Amino acid sequence: MKTTNELIQMKRDSEKITMVTAYDYPSAKQSEAAGLDTILVGDSLGMTVLGYDSTVQVTMDDMIHHAKAVRRGAPDTYTVVDMPFGSYHTSDDEGVGNVLSLYQSSGANAVKLEGIGCVEIIRRAVLAGVPVVAHLGLTPQSVGVTGFKMQAGSLKEAEKLVTDAKKVEEAGACMLVLEAIPADLAEKVTASLSIPTIGIGAGAGTDGQVLVYHDMLQYGSDRLPKFVKAYGDFNSAAAKGLMQYVKEVKSGIFPDAATTYKKRVFEK
């Protein structure tokens, strides 16, 4: 398993960092076998695997449950877990307490917080011994205000994001996720920081990339964002297999002798 310091060293060595957002044992197991550097247990699980409309309904218990499953599937992969909506937005004291609780209960290697409003929580959590990943640009927990669209498109907004990125680094963040921002801005932020940047919809100039397992493999996802490249098509394979199963059960082809226990209990 890579350590936080080793991931930072990868930036210094100009070695790209690979991250996938996964939520359960089988996807984590596959990710580790494929050699991913890091796994993010994202609160996007609300929409992707729980069927919610947004991340807002996701709870601390949900994140702990899924993070534990991921750790069982990928015990040797650096794992980051999202703080869910509302768990660090009320007071710094409560927010830090929840960060410590999620870190301790989930078994993750780091905890991720969204937005610039949590700088003091990052600072205090790091002082308490928790590695923290920051997240700027499009922050899904705030889409009710910002919408799902590119962020920091003006010069003023871009300059603020550069400043915000330096603030989260100064607070002690060990990595920074940059989502849905112009590529040249992501490149500028990356060059200005000593910690790794992980991009999603932020171009090729970041220190690493993250995609959601279910998006990149087309597993349950109906529409892919502009910045997603599909590397598989589980939807088609699953639909084909399920339809064949229905056909064989209806026609009596399944189960056959090869899939049936052969020992007789009753004599004819």
Binding residue ranges: 43-44, 82, 112, 114
CB 33 within 8 Å of CB 138: no
Helices (H), 172-225: 183-192, 213-216
Instruction: For residues 249 and 258, give the distance between their C-alpha atoms in angstroms, rounded to a whole number.
Output: 15
Instruction: For residues 149 and 222, give the distance between their C-alpha atoms in angstroms, rounded to a whole number.
Output: 18
Structure tokens at 207: 């220190």
Annotated binding site for Mg(2+): 43, 82, 114
CB 140 within 8 Å of CB 161: no
Angstrom CA distances, 1 to 79, 95, 206, stand at: 9, 28, 22
Helices (H), the chain: 4-12, 25-34, 45-48, 60-73, 92-106, 119-127, 143-146, 155-171, 183-192, 213-216, 234-251
Structure tokens at 53: 């409309």
Instruction: For residues 140 and 130, give the distance between their C-alpha atoms in angstroms, rounded to a whole number.
Output: 23
Residues pairing with 211 in the sheet = 20
**Residues with catalytic annotation?**
179
